[in-house]
Structure 1
Amino acid sequence: MKVVGVIPARYGSTRFPGKPLALINGKPMIQRVYEQVKKSTELETVVVATDHEDIKKVVEEFGGTAIMTRTDHETGSDRISEVTQKVEGDFYVNVQGDEPLIRPELIDALVQAAKESPEAVVTAKTAIKHQEDVNNPNVVKVVTNKNGFALYFSRSTIPYNRSGVEHTYFKHLGLYGYPKDVLNKFVELPPSDFEKVEVLEQLRLLENGFSIKVVETSYDAVGVDTPEDIEKVEKILGGTANV
């Protein structure tokens, strides 16, 4: 199974235009993400999929591989689907371009799960540590069956704890691995009912009968959505430009 890591990097962002090029301790964010992803032992190829020549240029300057994709893609899945037509592979891992602290071990775990369930989409979850996150609609929750396959994703608190028993809630992490044929079928499907209600693209997969394997991890995504988040990541990195 040839596995390709794809990092979508869109230039336009309502809250943070040019985000992939923002410097984190002197290094472009897209470079930090790329270097972390390259540490994965399960990926045969890593590419940045972008819609902007400046991003492509920066990636190539630090020795990475970047390909140009259309500017009108609505989602990262759509962009990766275009990549499947340009970069040969059997399985594609979508790594968010705004997570400079992504753990390569998690990427490896997703690919290993894919080898055990080759027809499934694979994603990740992590235990929620703070009650306010359980009730926060911006923190997407996931429930799985006993075999680790997703039952549902929601912005609501699921399951609702009517009995008051002790329960661990799980946050869904936006890291996906797709078999090529599943990905290309997925992006051709119209938005589903639950997807439109929750505004969660992955529900389209469940509503159309696709399986989603969910890997548990201790990693909790630290994404960069605004310029203020840069400082947060720099503090985690310890202010060391070489990290």
Structure 2
Amino acid sequence: MISMALIPARYASTRLPAKLMLDLGGAPVIVRTYQAVLATGLFDEVYVVTDHSDIAQSIESVGGKVLISTQSYDCGSDRIAAAAASLEADIILNVQGDEPFIDRESLAALLDVFRKDTASQIDVASLMFVIDQPQDINNPNHVKVIVDQYNQALYFSRAPIPYVREADDRAVYYQHKGVYAFRKSALCAFPTLPMGPLEKAEKIEAIRFLESGRKIKMVETKISSIGIDTQQDIEKARALWALT
């Protein structure tokens, strides 16, 4: 099974301008993410897919591989789907460019989905973890996911889901970790799927599969994620990096 990791790296960012080029321990965020994915040793190839020369140069300066993609896309999966068309791979992982703390255990668990007896039934898999900080449940920057008894995604939302109606009841909240594992055929089909009203409203690319009647297998990881979307996030990331 040939597996590759593609890291979509768009330069523009509305919430935190040029966030992928912000310094994290002496190197840009995108370089730290690339190095973390490469260090897992799980992939036959690792590429950064970008629309900007600054990002490309930063990756090439550390010996990394870059695919240039200057067209405008709605989301990262659209961007890497275009790049993946010419690659010889069975499984392609989409690792967001702002995941410098991505861990080997989580990525290995995603790849393992496609080695199990039920693998033929799965085209897309992604990660989730239990939210342990109450303030994160209501944070719209943290995407929540609910699943069925087989860990198939039912819905993703920036709102707190599930809604607990009775005050005495309790619920487990899962946060979506922005990493996807695709069969190449499923990834290449992604841009052909129409963007539905729910994806447009939530701005969550995973919803496109659900609105099209397809399934996403969710894999629970015990390791939480620090994505970088705000100034507070980058400050938190820098503090954590200083401890490593």
Q: Normalization by structure 1: what TM-score?
A: 0.90
Most deviating of 102-111 and 216-225: 216-225
Query: In structure 1, what is the equivalent of residue 204 of structure 2?
Result: 200
1:123 is aligned to 2:112: no
Q: Distance in 2 between matches of 1:32 and 1:184?
A: 27
Letter in 2 for 1:173: K
Equivalent residues, number: 240
Q: Which amino acid aligns with 2:71?
A: T
Aligned to 2:213: 209
Q: Secondary structure of the residue that 1:66 maps to in structure 2? A: strand
- In structure 1, runs of 5+ residues without a counterpart are none
C-alpha displacement at 1:96, in angstroms? Answer: 0.9
Distance 2:58 2:156 in 1: 36
CA RMSD of aligned residues (A): 1.9
Distance between the aligned counterparts of 1:125 and 1:189, measured in 2? 24
Tell me what 1:170 maps to.
174
Aligned partner of residue 114 in structure 2, secondary structure: helix
Q: Distance in 1 between matches of 2:187 and 2:163?
A: 32
Offset from partner CA, 1:186-221 (integer Å, 9 cap, x none): 211111132233332212201212111111112222
CA contact (8 A) 1:41 1:108 kept: no
Within the alignment, does 1:186 sit opposite 2:159 as a pair?
Answer: no
Q: TM-score, normalised by structure 2?
A: 0.90
1:192–1:54 distance in 2 versus 1, CA, 3 Å: same
Aligned to 1:19: 19
* Greater alpha carbon shift after TM alignment, 82-91 vs 104-113: 82-91
Give the Cα separation in 1 of the matches to 2:139 and 2:89.
37
Q: 1:14 to 1:151 in 2, by over 3 A?
A: closer
Cα distance in 2, alignment partners of residues 137 and 18 from structure 1: 21
CA distance in 2, matches of 1:229, 1:161: 28
Report how far residue 155 of structure 1 moved: 2.5
> Paired residue for 1:72?
72
Task: Provide the C-alpha distance between the structure 2 equivalents of 1:96 and 1:137, rounded to a whole number of angstroms.
Answer: 18
CA 1:48–1:143: 2 relative to 1, 3 Å: same
Report the Cα distance in structure 1 between the residues aligned to 2:228 and 2:203, rounded to whole angstroms: 20
Deviations 1:1-30 (A, max 9, x none): 211101111112234443322221212222
**Could you tell me how far apart the structure 2 residues matched to 1:214 and 1:205 are?**
13
Q: Which runs of 5+ in 2 are unaligned?
A: none
Percentage identity across paired residues of the two chains: 39
For the residue of structure 2 that corresponds to 1:14, the secondary structure is coil
Aligned to 2:109: 109
Q: 1:92 to 1:205 in 2, by over 3 A?
A: same
Relative distance call for 1:64 and 1:167 in structure 2 (3 A) is: same
Distance 2:201 2:17 in 1: 28
| Pick aligned residue for 1:141 from 144, 157, 182 | 144
Partners in 2 of 1:58 and 1:132 — Cα distance? 35
**1: distance between equivalents of 2:233 and 2:227?**
8
Report if the CA contact (8 A) 2:147-2:155 is conserved: yes
Structure 1 residues 108, 134: closer, same or farther in 2, change over 3 A?
same
- Deviation, 1:78, is 0.9
Amino acid at match of 2:242: G
